[in-house]
Each structure stands twice: as structure tokens, then as C-alpha cells.
Amino acid sequence: MASEDVVNPSHMLPLELIDKCIGSRIHIVMKSEKELVGTLLGFDDFVNMVLEDVTEFEITADGRKTTHLDQILLNGNNICLLVPGGEGPTA
């Protein structure tokens, strides 16, 4: 019987979990009134991220504003929450 290297996500370090998200979609909630959904290309120890095919959702006085960006460099200091595989706000 062969043993598989299955890692329980609850036993992973945060940066290990983010590393497993490289190449997949990720939903990011910022400290400001913005949320982003894009494909994670890479990150560093400060959780600065490079994303491609990004949709930015911003709450304004006129309602929700949506912007499409080809590629961005995101400062990790402004990130509040990361949702692997998330597709962004729905309401």
C-alpha cells in the first residue's frame, strides 16, 4: 500500500497555502472599499502579489464600479482577506 503525501490545509503555514494558489483564481478583500479577483502569478514574503486577468470591484457613492486590469502588482500591506478560488462579490 503506497502512502500519499496528502497535507491537511489546517496544518500548513499561511505562505504555504498561498504558494499552492499560484496559477489559480483568488479573491482578495482590501482594507479599503475594494475587492479584487484575479489569477495569482507570484508573491513574496510580505505578501506583495502579482495578479493577471484582474477584475476590481469598488464600492462608490454611485454603487459598485467594476474595472478590468490585465496585470497588477498588489501591496501586501493593504490586504485584509484572501479567498483561494473565490469569484468575488455577488450582491
Sequence-ordered list of residues with C-beta below 8 angstroms from that of 24, at least 6 positions apart, any chain: 39, 40, 84, 85
Tell me the pLDDT band of 86, cut-offs 50, 70 and 90: confident
List C-alpha distances in Å: 2 to 5, 6: 10, 12
| Class of the domain covering 22-84 | mainly beta
Q: What are the sequence ranges of the domains in the chain? A: 22-84
Q: Is the pTM of this model over 0.85?
A: no
pLDDT, tens only, 20-61: 989 999 999 999 889 999 999 999 999 999 999 999 999 888
**Neighbour tally for 1: CB within 10 Å:** 2
